[in-house]
A and B are shown apart, each in its own frame.
Chain A
Amino acid sequence: MTTVELGNYSLAFAMLAGCVGIFGSIGSRRLDSPSLLGVARASIHWLTALLTISCAALMVAILRDDFALTYVAGYSERALPLGYKISAFWAGQPGSLLLWAWMLAVMSSIVAIVIRKSPAATQAPTLGILAAACGLFPALMLFFAKANPFYLSGIVPPDGSGMVPLLQDPAMIAHPPLLFLGYAGLTIPFALAFGALIGGRTDAGWIPAARRWTLAAWLFLTAGIILGAEWAYVELGWGGYWKWDAVENASLLPWFTATALIHSLIVQQRRGMLKIWNASLAALSYFLCIFATFVTRSGIIASVHAFEKGDALSPIGWFFLITMIVMILGVVGVMLWRRRLLKSHRPLENLISFESGVLTANVLLTVMMATTLIGTMFPVLSKLVTGESIGVDEKFYNTVILPMFIALFVLMGAGPALQFAKARRGVGRRLAIPGIAALLAGAATAIATAPAWLEMSGMSWVFWKTWEAWKAWVAYWMPCVWMTVSVAVATLVVVGIADDFLRNLAAKLGDRSQDVVVTMGRVLRGNLRRYGGQLTHLGVVMMLLGVAASSLFSIEKKLALRIGESAELGRYTLRLESVDEIRKDNYQALAARVAVSGPDGLQSILGPEIRQYFKFDELNREVAIDTGLREDVYLTFLGAEDGGRLVFIHARVNPMVLWIWIGSIAMAVGSGVCLFSRRRRAAPQVTEADGEVQ
């Protein structure tokens, strides 16, 4: 049997296993048969085994340079280094679908093992949902040649066409698998929540597991999104990291709902509230992962990525569309059928409480998701309504979503002071210190950023008279206003967290003289989940500052330099030392050597390049970055004239970009701590008197 046959047969049997799982699950409930439940469980493991065989077959084909497979010929080549050959597995659509399917199957198997002893009433529907979700992928790959990694076109080229140079980057190896881990992981909370719902379960027993899976999936999704942004920054050379492109948005959609779900599940676990929210958020998170694929694969939106015609739906698009419609109907049907189980245990008692804080965050995150969704679908929606296709660019997202982000930060800052159930008098007092700190930091930022802009605008008060001048004046002040607001909310969060920690420390220390460091450790260990969450919030704050500073205060200049000449950029002097021709195995390049001197003398030597890969006609510009906590010096080699003696360089100074990457590491560590920490004691049923958030 050839690898291709092996791959295809195992896909076919995997689809069959999916069907068996679905029928086993339904049958075990109808006939009340434990053995059918065993069949459903076994079918999940069969799916995993069969998809593992498929993956192995594809990997062998790639490593063996089996260019008979269209997929291998399209994304690999003989000369490709081993690491990139492995990543060719997920460089294209069919392979990435197979990877996603396999990851989902492995996770489903873990779930099937963990829940094997739970009551059949909830176990059966969970297994059924997982079997259906896994089985969807082999079906897709078998029905559509375009989605099948084992497709043979009948032509065997002598060598593959290779991987596009832009994708030959370490971040690009890890980015897709991380996203797919996130997408696959978000299937599990959905299966658990709806398993419990269909099974008629009334207790909160499924929540800890669902929360953990959501957290893990969120961690992977976040890491994947940020690695993609990092790749765009270091590889694409336009100096930015996020552009609100359709594909970027697609991965952000489930992120919004998963973020909401993580917080909202706490409220259901502790207070028996927000049940409709949680069921909807779990379903939406899963749904949006499928939708993300729909957007990027169907060609329904002409974006930089999905460049297909932009109006006609491909067969795969129809497949996804029908799947999504069936899913929505199913989810809504189940929620209506079991609406009595989704009733809240108690009403929302007060506007100032942890529950209402989370509820507000849920609303904000959902609206942000909806905004991103509407913005992404705008060309399609406007065509349906007006017959004319109108799209929106990043200005739309920045205008609508950034204020909501700021509102989220205010909630984040209030978080540690809020308590369950009731507004205690203490809330105002507890927020006093962070609030005052925020105001002071905001005022300092306003003073620090304002004069520069006043100088640059060169406008006097007289110009206020016309509307246009007023608008220009507002635009000039925008960076100062945004930075002030960002620093203020960042301070609110940071001081709020510090204040909360010190209060807990002081309470533990009491008046006895104990060792402060030991007690600190005890306070942290005593509630790892709380402090893990707060570390994640600190990471988000760092990111906010990085994004605000780099998007508001970056400076750029196009330089034309001859060897030995210098140019000024901000507080730096850039001097062109030399221009060299480089020849490597798979490309040749022109490399500039630029000495970057700051106020303290020579800081670094940067070498931006223009590469010509032999397999590709297009030029590839390799940016050079001198990164630092304060700012990055970012050089793009534009071109050369006069036999390489006159060099054109696009030079930028991007403030605080490093904070974004450091913040993302803090987020990963923080959520990792939450993920692996166990609760000290079983969750107590919260009484009215017990308010402290754990």
Chain B
Amino acid sequence: MNPTRVKFLVAGLILAGAVGYLGYAGVMAGRASYLTVDDFLADTKLGADAKYQYRDAERQATRPVRLRGKAIEEGLVIDIETSTATFTMVGEKAESGGLPVVYKGVLPDLFKAGVEILVTGRMGKDGVFEADVVATKCPSKYGKGPAESETP
């Protein structure tokens, strides 16, 4: 192998290593499990086997989750002054029941009961899901830019 090739090989390996490390760090920093509310509620009922349930006092949950479901009218309270919203999220199956959610922040404009939403956060100790991000569906099937909520 000629010296130029060796140099390129070394440069390539360094780049690959750097990208690999960044990729790992990025996934660890930004990952969340995507679930429906139904699956999440079914999982939390499993008790000790539950994957996403609150585990110990130090770490609130094993990892953040992003839930897809709908908010219901009943129990929807929006306090503008403290910008806190509490609501109950349900899935498609009636037997799953509801998941109480608390969100410190301003709900997106398109948020209302019955509209599909994506809620990212962790399960709190008290059984209330603490949301970091609440997103509603973008206004049109076509159209760019997320109608994301404001994060506090």
Residues of A with Cβ closer than 8 Å to B? 75, 90-93, 96, 164-167, 172, 175-176, 228-229, 231-232, 235-239, 243, 245, 247-248, 251, 296, 302-307, 310, 347-351, 356, 360, 363-364, 367, 371, 374-375, 378-379, 388-400, 403-404, 558, 560, 617-621, 636, 638-639, 641, 648, 650
Contact = CB atoms under 8 A, between A and B. Distances in A.
B30 A388 contact: no
A296 B142 contact: yes
Contacts of B116: 307
Given A248-B144, A304-B118, A389 B23 contact: no
B103 to A, nearest CB: 14
A396 B31 contact: yes
A650 B31 contact: no
Contacts of A356: 8
Given A172-B143, A389-B34, A617-B112, 20 more contacts: A91-B140, A165-B139, A166-B109, A166-B147, A167-B139, A167-B140, A167-B143, A236-B145, A245-B146, A351-B8, A378-B31, A392-B30, A392-B32, A395-B30, A398-B26, A399-B29, A400-B19, A403-B22, A618-B110, A618-B111
A662 B23 CA distance: 32
A363 B15 CA distance: 9
Interface string B110-146: 1110001010100000000000010111111111111
B112 A618 contact: yes
Contacts, number: 179
Contacts of A375: 26
Contacts of B31: 378, 390-393, 396
A558 B105 CA distance: 10
A638 B146 contact: no
A181 B117 CA distance: 32
B138 to A, nearest CB: 5
B94 interface: no
6 contacts: A166-B109, A232-B144, A236-B147, A307-B141, A390-B32, A390-B34
A228 B145 contact: yes
In this complex, the member of B136, B141, B142 whose beta carbon has the largest number of chain A beta carbons within 10 angstroms is B142
Nearest to A622: B109
B26 A619 contact: no
Contacts of A636: 106, 150
Contact of A302 (B23, B27, B68, B142): B68
Contacts of B140: 75, 91-92, 164, 167
Interface in B17-59: 18-19, 22-23, 25-27, 29-35
Given A302-B118, A399-B26, A92 B137 contact: no
B142 A176 contact: yes
B29 to A, nearest CB: 4
Contacts of B112: 617-618
A619 B112 CA distance: 10
A512 B18 CA distance: 51
Contact of B4 (A167, A350, A391): A350
A305 B68 contact: no
A558 B110 CA distance: 20
Given A164-B139, A393-B30, A304 B22 contact: no
Given A232-B145, A399-B25, A648-B81, A351 B19 contact: no
A75 B18 CA distance: 47
A648 B80 contact: yes
Contacts of A388: 33
